[in-house]
Amino acid sequence: MNTSRTIVAVRSLVGKILSVIGWFLAVMFVFFMIGIATGDMFAEDFILMVIFLLVPAVWCIAMGIRIKRRTRRFKQYVSVLSAQGDTSIHVLAGAVNQHPGFVKQDIQFMIDKRFFPNARIDNATDTVVIGRKPEATYMQPFHQANPGMGATPPGVPVIESFTCPGCAAVGRKQRGASGECDYCGTIVS
């Protein structure tokens, strides 16, 4: 199962690899330019060097930077969403210092690419909603439902909080059972 953590890690690695390839190509372009300037190469080769070295170098560097910035914004979004739950696009825009329209498109892209497998954007309220399981699927601990009755009797499930190892969000699950992070889909034991 592809979790958000895996997807983000792979995309981050791709961003770094693209940056390295881009800088390598840019350095090669500079060496070829030095060769042309010193007369070791023909000036006609300049067009080929631009097409085969400079253009791909610029593209790789730009894509690498874009992917790394998106990964950084994802981590900022998760931080705000895990602290506040369902959050307005405007609040998230303030957290990443971007225009709300940009943030809405950015989060929709991340939802489509499975960065946020359990999220959706509520267009009516401009809110990012984390798709939780209905509350009825969690049984409330006995001692909370019946104050003054003592500890939870045997056989009644106890709900506990956990911190997701994938995105550091806080979630709830039944004690002793596996749970799924509402934010990134990581399975937590």
pLDDT tens by residue, 9-52 = 899 999 999 999 999 999 999 988 887 778 776 767 778 888 88
144: its two tokens: 């909370």
- Written as one letter, the residue type at 74 is F
Annotated domain spans of the chain = 135-188
Selection from 111, 88, 109, 110 nearest residue 100 by Cα? 88
pLDDT at 66: 95
SS3 52: helix
Q: Supply the pTM of this predicted model.
A: 0.67
Which distant-in-sequence residues (6+ apart) come within 8 Å of 72 by Cβ?
Answer: none
Selection from 59, 2, 76, 1 nearest residue 25 by Cα? 59
pLDDT tens by residue, 126-145 = 999 887 544 433 444 544 55
CA distance readout (Å), 178 to 27, 31, 93, 102, 162: 50, 56, 33, 36, 11
DSSP string, 74-90: HHHHHHHHHHHSSEEHH
How many residues comprise the chain? 189
pLDDT at 136: 39
Taking the mean position of all CA atoms in its chain, how far away is CA 77? Answer: 8
95: its two tokens: 């957290």
pLDDT over threshold 80, residue 116 = yes
Residue with tokens 């003592």: 150
Angstrom distance (rounded) from CA 141 to CA 117: 28
Buried b (16+ CB within 10 A) or exposed e, 81-98: bbeeeebbbebbbebbeb
